[in-house]
Structure 1
Amino acid sequence: MAWIGVASAGRVHDAADAPAAPVVIVLGAKVQDGRPMSFLAGRLDVGAELVRTGKARAVLVSGDANGNSGNEIAAMTDYLVDQGVDRDLIVGDDYGLDTYDTCARAAATFGVRRALIVSQGNHASRAVALCRHAGIDADGVKADCDCRRITVARNTAREWIARPKAVADMLSNRPPKVSSPPDDALDRVLAD
């Protein structure tokens, strides 16, 4: 817990106070009937706000395109478009199977060197630590969640389990579960 706290100290912000970065990474979460559930919708709302306010020029949506709840990438992309984000600014990573993989793939596959990463509360701190470990100069941006109390409690408890796993992943420096050749989609978006 301390390691994550130190690695992310001073690097987690509200959307209004977030610094600028070329890319905002939005971490996937559960979808239902092709639509983001409240946790994910909160993240996407912040991602859209960061693009609208000029704090990011491109969005990397990262999650599981073949997840148990459905295609997170398609749901996230459609939601962002509905929020006014130009589809041409959105790049999807179908294999961001967990936060470690998202960060490792953002660096190795998509060439991200500087980014904002969006998630709720303590998860944003863990995401920053994992992205910094992957070589990304990352700042976290906190998302809200119009969630039931049980959802918040479940995700808070999950974070207590996920943090030791994150430290183990960083210590082992494991490769992501799915490796892909370099993809220049973000470079093309940022070049426009």
Structure 2
Amino acid sequence: MNRLKKYIIYILIVLGGGIAFIWGLSFYIIDTTSDEIYSKISDLPISNTVIVLGASVHSDGKLSPILRDRVDTALDIYRSGRAKQFLLSGDNRRNDYDEVSAMKNYLLERDVPENLIFTDPAGLDTYDSMYRSDYIYKIPNAIVVTQKFHLPRTLFIAESLGLNYIGFPAKHKYYETENNLIRREKLANLKAMWEILTKQTPENMGEENPVNRF
């Protein structure tokens, strides 16, 4: 019985330590990136590019509410003159699923010139999107748009890669999956830390395609 009690106590200590580490890492990432997140478009410095991170699209090509809010926010930033062009980074691993084309079509329908829209179909996760934005697209500085709960990890990765990026939260609405996404974000921080510490290189790199320089 004593051995069983010790085993249970050991398991509880390990679990407690793991949970404490996950929460501590989350608070650290939020704290170290807070100065790079803006709340008013009018306060944003003028940047070369606004980067929109992908999210799910429907089978008919329409943007999910989360993705539509990201693109609409980026469009507001562009129209305000705070960013000169777009990089749309998302998942296009399958012929029947294409986040970047859906975003691009959405912007084209709203009269954004095609030559100001760059697309990254291999932005399979946040780390890949940030890494490729520099390695492939040579973006000198950028405003990254995604939901508020996602921005700290995104900017933490960008800063770790030496990128001159700031963040702006997408228009806030309540999403049915938001609570699950927030919980998942804390676990995703562990993955981000591993990718940074091990200096991961995305599998799909391709040729350089520098954005416009203004």
TM-score, scaled relative to structure 1: 0.90
- Runs (5+) with no aligned partner, structure 2: 1-25
Counterpart mapping for 1:96-175 below 5 A: 96-148=123-175, 150-175=176-201
1:30 corresponds to 2:56:
yes
SS across alignment from 1:35: coil
Distance 1:151 1:19 in 2: 32
Select the structure of larger CA radius of gyration: 2
Deviation at 1:81, TM superposition (A): 1.8
Structure 2 CA distance for aligned equivalents of residues 133 and 180 of structure 1 = 22
Aligned to 1:14: 39
Q: Taking every aligned residue pair, what percent have the same amino acid on both sides?
A: 29
- CA distance in structure 2 between the aligned counterparts of 1:4 and 1:67, rounded to whole angstroms: 33
Q: Which amino acid aligns with 1:110?
A: Y
Equivalent pairs, count: 187
Q: Per-residue CA shift, 1:86-138, capped at 9, x if unaligned?
A: 22210000100000000000011111121110000121111111112222101
Residue aligning to 2:91: 64
Whichever residue aligns with residue 156 of structure 1, its letter is I
How far apart are residue 6 of structure 1 and its match?
Answer: 4.1
- In structure 1, the gaps of 5 or more residues are none
Task: Please give the per-residue CA displacement for 1:115-167, whole angstroms capped at 9, x wherever unaligned.
Answer: 1100001211111111122221010110024443x321121112111111111
What amino acid does structure 1 have at the position aligned with 2:185? E
- 2:102 corresponds to: 75
The answer (yes or no) to whether the contact 2:73–2:145 under 8 Å persists in 1 is: yes
Over 3 Å counting, the alpha-carbon distance change for 1:31 and 1:147 in structure 2 is farther
Between 30-39 and 69-78, report the one with greater CA deviation.
Answer: 69-78
Q: Which amino acid aligns with 1:62?
A: S
1:88/1:15 CA distance change after superposition, 3 Å: farther
CA apart distance, 1:26: 0.2
Is the 8 Å Cα contact of residues 4 and 125 (structure 1) preserved in structure 2?
yes
SS of corresponding position for 2:177? helix
Confirm or deny that 1:44 pairs with 2:79. Answer: no
Q: Secondary structure at the match of 1:21?
A: coil
Amino acid of the structure 1 residue aligned with 2:197: L
| Contact map agreement 1:25 1:61 (CA 8 A) in 2 | yes
Q: Is the 8 A contact 2:48 2:140 kept in 1?
A: no
**TM-score of the two chains, using structure 2 as the length reference:** 0.81
Counterpart of 2:204 (choices 175, 178, 187) is 178
**Structure 2 counterpart of 1:92:** 119
